[in-house]
Amino acid sequence: MGEAILFWFFGGLTCVLALLVIVMRNPVHSAMALIGNLFCIAALFAMLDAHFLAAIQVLVYAGAILVLFLFVIMLLNLKDHELGNARQTATKIAGAILLCWVAFKLIFRVMPSTTAGFPAVGDDYGTVETVGRFLFGPHLLPFEVASILLLAAILGSVAIAKKKLW
């Protein structure tokens, strides 16, 4: 029962904050909402026994990526008139609504409804050790490729940010 309360709490908060991210006019506010959203998702991760990832979520997202966002926002120091208005066209809103509607319909109808909860898992599920063994065992190659990807992203963003592209 406690699990359900936590899920509904964090789940509802996640939805609200995600909505705030996309409706706030000022990007700083959006970023703040996003931080909250990420924390809630981290909590949900923890509820799914992914403790390690929950930690990473907080560290990487809230700690690194969001800080990056905020740095950029401050660097740009946008004036009020530069923020612009979200001039949504009717077609786009209609399209978005249609998309959501179809998606929900599908999700509720297509998937087999189960009432059973999650099966039990071992204590070591989602621990740093288990995930680490996976990463450095069968997934070693993708892991190293990911590091190269990050390196490329670092170099790329430095190169792009230094140049005047347009």
Distance CA 77, CA 68 (A): 14
Q: How far apart are the first and last CA of the chain?
A: 56
Work out whether 43 is an interface residue with another protein (CB under 8 A).
no
Residue 58 touching another protein (CB under 8 A): no
| Residue 128-157 contact track with another protein, rule CB under 8 A, x = bound | --xx--xx--xx--xx--x--xx-xxx-xx
Q: Cβ of residue 25: shortest distance to another protein, in angstroms?
A: 9
Among 9, 36, 55, 60, binds another protein (CB under 8 A): 60
Asked if 109 interacts with another protein (CB under 8 A), we say: yes
Q: How many Å apart are CA 21 and CA 88, to the nearest integer?
A: 16
Contact call for residue 115 and another protein (CB under 8 A): yes
Structure tokens, 48: 């799914």
Identify which of 138, 116, 134 has the alpha carbon closest to the alpha carbon of residue 126. Answer: 134
Q: If we measure between CA atoms, which residue out of 82, 9, 104 comes closest to residue 47?
A: 9
Q: List the structure tokens of 121.
A: 């898992």
* Min separation Cβ 61 and another protein, Å: 7
Indicate which single residue of 9, 74, 102, 144 sits in contact with another protein (rule: CB under 8 A): 102
What's the gap between Cα 160 and its chain centre? Answer: 24
* Contacting another protein within 80-99 (CB under 8 A): 82-88, 92-93, 95-96, 98-99
